[in-house]
Homo-oligomer: A and B are copies of this chain.
Amino acid sequence: MTTQPVYLRIADDLRRQIVDGRLAAGDKVPSRHELAREYEVSDRVAVQAVRLLVTEGYLEARPGSGTYVRQRPTVRRMMRSWYRESRGGSPFRADMEEQSRAGTWTSSSTTEKATPTVAERLNITEDDAVMCTQYVFRADDEPVMLSTSWEPLALTRGTAIMMPEQGPHAGQGVVARMRAIGLDIATAEEVLTARAILANEAELLHEPLGSIVMVVRRTYTGEQGPVETADIVVPVDRYELAYITPVE
């Protein structure tokens, strides 16, 4: 066995104290000078250990104040199964109601030309016009989820639902809106991946840089092909995603 670097030993030590509960959320961790004295190393080594745990999300450093065990938000569950869309109204608001939280959101829409990626997902031609809408979803006023959606203007131009969040069908979800103009959605494809949070997302979601988000690439498809696609960004700190499917 090779001997471990000192900074990893210190980090392991602190990490164990946190997962064991000897250090609770909000507790202050010894300052780096104290750690350096405690473990008889230079302060630089203590800094290295602490910084590792900060990037791992265990600790939170507040300049001028100290380093604290990070408060982990409670993880809630978001249903993404087949019956999600069958409840009527906004799927997000229904999700929130099941948790006794108030689901709200803000959005802004612009028309754009389809990027190559979006064009491929919507099965349209590059530079075809699309309606791009950015959402910030909130639960009890706390931002919890981001979404960017694209709809081909070839389908919606001139209809009552062209602007997703205006008109008589605003806030009812994509399936209901599309049905209003005679487009029945048959399937939802959700492709999942995860990555580090981006700077602008971190700001919008009040998450620390370095935290991890899941990205759901969702595409709704009707008889004639895709009618909407969206990138949904969910911090893993706040939500886990649940898919329940029948087997046979």
Contacts and interface: CB of A to CB of B under 8 A. Distances in A.
Contacts of A192: 192, 214, 240-243
Interface residues of A, number: 38
Nearest to A174: B247
Contacts of A184: 248
A175 B247 CA distance: 8
A244 B189 contact: yes
A236 interface: yes
Given A212-B212, A214-B192, A236-B193, A82 B175 contact: no
A246 interface: yes
Interface string A180-224: 000011111111111110000000000000001110000010000
A55 interface: yes
Nearest to A213: B194
Interface of A: 55-57, 75, 77, 80-82, 85-86, 175, 184-196, 212-214, 220, 236, 240-248
16 contacts: A80-B243, A81-B245, A86-B247, A86-B248, A184-B248, A186-B246, A186-B247, A188-B244, A190-B243, A191-B241, A191-B243, A192-B240, A192-B243, A195-B212, A195-B236, A243-B243
